[in-house]
Amino acid sequence: MLCLVALLGLQVLSTGVSAATYSVEAYFSDAVCTTGSAYQVNAVEAANCTAQSCSSDSAASSGDGSDAKLVECSSDFESIMATMLSGSSYVMIARFEGDNCSGWYYSYGTTQLGLCVRDKY
């Protein structure tokens, strides 16, 4: 069973997930990863998360080669996602699996509302 929960605006999702480490990947259309200017953010549980400073991500580029990627590791992925997306209207989606949608799988956020953009997760 697949369940998706969408949040609009600045609401933050509480998944009820116990304290863990998460890898939060943010994709930016500028080359300097300006906070609030991400257009796509993904979060997954990652016990061995490795932070990555802002760098070119041409392999996952939207096609023009200008994308940059930043990876942060945190136990509070929801706040990081909201901060990274805060410069525009956005939607955040949490995917749950299992009976009664009890197992959190990953979260995804984007500012590209109404546009066809490849999911980088």
* Residue 120 pLDDT > 80: no
Supply the mean pLDDT for the chain. Answer: 79
Reply yes or no on whether the pLDDT at 42 is more than 80. yes
User: Which pLDDT value is given to residue 53?
Assistant: 94
Checking if the pLDDT of 56 tops 60, the result is yes
Instruction: Give the start-to-end residue ranges of the domains of the chain.
Output: 2-110
More confident residue, 93 or 62: 93
In whole angstroms, give the CA distance from residue 116 to residue 66: 17
- Tell me how far CA of residue 97 lies from CA of 2, 106, 111, in angstroms: 5, 10, 24
DSSP states along 80-99: HHHHHHTTS--EEEEEEESG
pLDDT of amino acid 58: 57
- The label of the residue with tokens 């997306």 reads 85
* Spatial distance between the Cα atoms of 100 and 24, rounded to a whole number of angstroms: 26
Rounded to the nearest angstrom, the gap between the alpha carbon of residue 104 and the centroid of all alpha carbons in its chain is: 14
Does the pLDDT at position 52 exceed 70? yes
What percentage of the chain exceeds 70 in pLDDT?
Answer: 69
